Amino acid sequence: MRLLSLITLEKQLEPGRGARAAVTVVSIALALVLSGLVILAIGVNPVAAYGALFSGAFGTLYGLSETLVKTTPLILTGLAVALGLKMRLWNIGAEGQFVIGFLAATLIGLGFPGLPGFLLLPLMGAAAVLAGGLWAAAAGLLKARLGVSEIITTLLLNWVAILFSQYFAYGPLKGADGFPYSPAFCPGACLPTLGWGRVNAGIFLALAAAVILHLFLKHTLWGFEIRVIGDSPKAARAAGMGIERNIVLVLALAGGLAGLGGFVEVSGIEHRLSPHTGLGYGYTAILIAWLARSQPLLVILVAFLFGGLYTGGEMIQVGMGVPVAVIRILQGAILFFLLAGDYLLNFRIRWRVGSGE
């Protein structure tokens, strides 16, 4: 392929060591530059904006607490996508699984207002996990039995979940005042806070989930099977591993994780159902899982950084008039450059002076 007559891209079999890491870093850098240009176009100094974003998200105790608040659901949805990726399954449905978990937890929370917290909360959590799990398992079943692409099914199920949730917000769960917001949770349905801003026990759940998933993948037979199926379904099948069973199970578990994210969000922060069109955590999760190379422990780190992005972004919107949409641009740009970079890892650039072979 000739771009200009000066540089040629040619295929190479072996990307150099460290090239992967370089691609990640450069992608982020380029994305920052691109978004910086957009910020500049609005009339704000990008360096100042980024500085404010960073210090807002990580520089103050309050900012840090808000970052952790955002990190919690991002870890869980990030894990939901990463787990699928380990088996080459694209779980685009983390958003919908999150929402359905959110809804299920709400229904239980509002349905049993008398129960004490230590009974009600686990019940809500279990309901959320179950709901998210079933939601994803449906897509898994279609893939396993009929070969229907999970990219499509999980994506479409997102809308179903969102609309379903909105139906409840506008309908059966509508508050007495007529607005599409459910009544607030009783204290028993709320995750205990830790005395630091809005940070609540959900963060421990998220961290535990990541660690448990990591250990699971690393040490169990099931983790091994997932790895084998992800690399070579044919060899896995010939070796006696159950492909179809695993597709459903892995997606179900992934959905459960995202559903747990929904529980943690409604029970720790929102305390009520509202007519959101989703919060975007499920889609950001794809980016997080990709950046973290599907490693659960790295998901924690990347989710934390993205949590900071969300928080900082909100702050500079208020403080400097930079629309929060710029953060979305930044995220999109990161994904774009990352994918391009990963692809270009397959090539080498040759500089040529003059033409000819």
Partner 1 sequence: MHCAVEMLGIVKRFPGVIANDHIDFQLLPGEVHTLLGENGAGKSTLMQILAGLYHPDAGEIAINGSPAVIHSPREAIRAGIGMVYQHFMLVRRHTVLENVILGLRRFGILLDYREAAREIERISIEYGLQIDPGAVVWDLSVGEQQRVEIVKMLLRRVKVLILDEPTAVLTPREAEGLFSTVRTLAGRGTAVVFISHKLREVMAVSDRITILRRGKNAGTIRKDETDERDLARRMVGREVLEEFDRTEVEAGGPVLTIRDLRAFDNRRHPALKGVSLEVRRGEIVGMAGISGNGQKELEEVLTGLREPAGGSVNLGGEEIAGREPDTIIAGGLGCIPEDRQGTGSAPGLGYRDNIILKSCRHPPLHRGIRLDYRKAAEIADRLRREYDIKVPSLFAPVRLLSGGNLQKVILARELSARPRFLLAVHPTRGLDIGAAGYVRNQLAELKRQGAAILLISEDLDELAGLSDRIAVIYEGRITGVLPAGKADRERLSLLMTGQKSETGSGGVVE
Among 284, 307, 303, 283, residue whose Cα is nearest residue 295: 303
Q: With contact defined as beta carbons under 8 Å apart, do 259 and 100 qualify?
A: yes
Q: Judged by CB under 8 A, does residue 346 bind partner 1?
A: no
- Among 96, 98, 138, 103, residue whose Cα is nearest residue 124: 103
Residue 20 backbone phi and psi in degrees, to 5: -55, -50
CA–CA separation, 101 vs 264, rounded Å?
Answer: 9
Q: Residue 270: what are its φ and ψ, rounded to 5°?
A: -75, -45
**DSSP string spanning 157-201?**
HHHHHHHHHHHHHHTTT--TTSSS-PPPPPGGGSPPB-SSTT-BT
For residue 89, give the 3-state DSSP assignment: coil
In the bound state with partner 1, the residue whose beta carbon lies nearer, of 284 and 295, is 295
Residues 195-234 vs partner 1: string with x where CB under 8 A?
Answer: ------------------------xxxxxxx-xx--xx-x
For residue 7, state whether it binds partner 1 (rule: CB under 8 A). Answer: no
Residues 162-201, mask of contacts with partner 1 (x by CB under 8 A): ----------------------------------------
- 4 sits near partner 1 (criterion: CB under 8 A): no
| Residue 20 engages partner 1 in binding (rule: CB under 8 A) | no
For partner 1, the closer of residues 48 and 145 by Cβ is 145
| Binding of partner 1 by 357 (CB under 8 A) | yes
The span from the CA of 45 to the CA of 297, in Å, is 35
The site string for partner 1 over 237-276 (x = CB under 8 A, - otherwise) reads xxxxxx----------------------------------
Q: Contact 249/267 with Cβ under 8 angstroms?
A: no
Cβ at position 204, least distance to partner 1 in Å: 23
217 or 258, CB closer to partner 1? 217
Choose between 191 and 236: whose C-beta lies nearer to partner 1.
Answer: 236
In the complex, the residues that contact partner 1 under the rule CB under 8 A are 8, 10-13, 219-225, 227-228, 231-232, 234-242, 350, 357
